[in-house]
Amino acid sequence: MPFVFLSLVIAFSVHEFAHAYTAHLFGDPTAKQEGRVTLNPRKHLDVIGTLLIFIVGFGWAKPVPVNRNNFKNPRMMGIVVSAVGPLSNLFIAFIGLIVTYLLFVTGGYDSSIGVMSALRMFLNHLVELNAVLFVFNLLPLPPLDGYRIIEDLAPQRVRIKMHQNVQWGTFVFLLIVFIPPLYANTLAPLFYFARFDLVLWLANIVHFIAG
């Protein structure tokens, strides 16, 4: 559990920082004004979301406030701001696999030393959880980043409909997350893909780069 918590804190902090920093880079001062352009977890963790990590092993962070009206190109820059969050999780998973590979080739991965054993366990959680968060956050359901990306890509009339029905999308999202049969037939297969297929794909890239 401590490794799950630590992995999620890292994942949430980097994810939200990526949103905040990119929005600030594109000219929106909102996140900067609220102190969100930082990797400090205390600025990003949500109280209820953090408590749920200890209760059910999963939670959420505080969403980064973004005012797209401050962007020169609101839709295109909005897509980038939304996308960098999940991409940051993919990057963390990739870095975790690089560290794992370095431990393996130096013999540290097979070490029975307690510290190395703990590091292996932490890296496993870090890689798998960030791979899952990458896939999860790209789902086209509110309030996830995937929904924001689809919203910015959609024609104006479709965006209006999406705004009108956003509460129903959120309701569907909650049903999928909290009703076991729905979860088992929707999110569970996606998470399996993330934990095994996506991680294997990333590991193959690491091996290819390493030669």
Closest Cα partner for 175 from 161, 185, 190? 185
Residue 45, SS3 per DSSP = strand
**Exposed (0-12), middle (13-18) or buried (19+): which is 30, by Cβ within 10 Å?**
middle
- Cα–Cα distance measured from residue 108 to residue 37, given in angstroms and rounded to the nearest whole number: 35
- Active-site residue flag, 151: no
- String of DSSP letters for 144-170: SHHHHHHHHHS-HHHHHHHHHTHHHHH
61 phi, psi to nearest 5 deg? -105, 170
- Residue 85 tokens, joined: 């969050």
Residues 6+ apart with CB under 8 A from 106: none
Q: Which of 16, 34, 128, 151 is the catalytic position?
A: 16
Tokens 């804190």 — which residue? 9
Number of C-alpha atoms within 13 angstroms, CB side, residue 75?
8
Residue 208 CA from chain centroid, whole number = 25
**Cα dihedral angle (202, 208, 82, 13), rounded to 10 degrees?**
70
Residues annotated as catalytic are 16
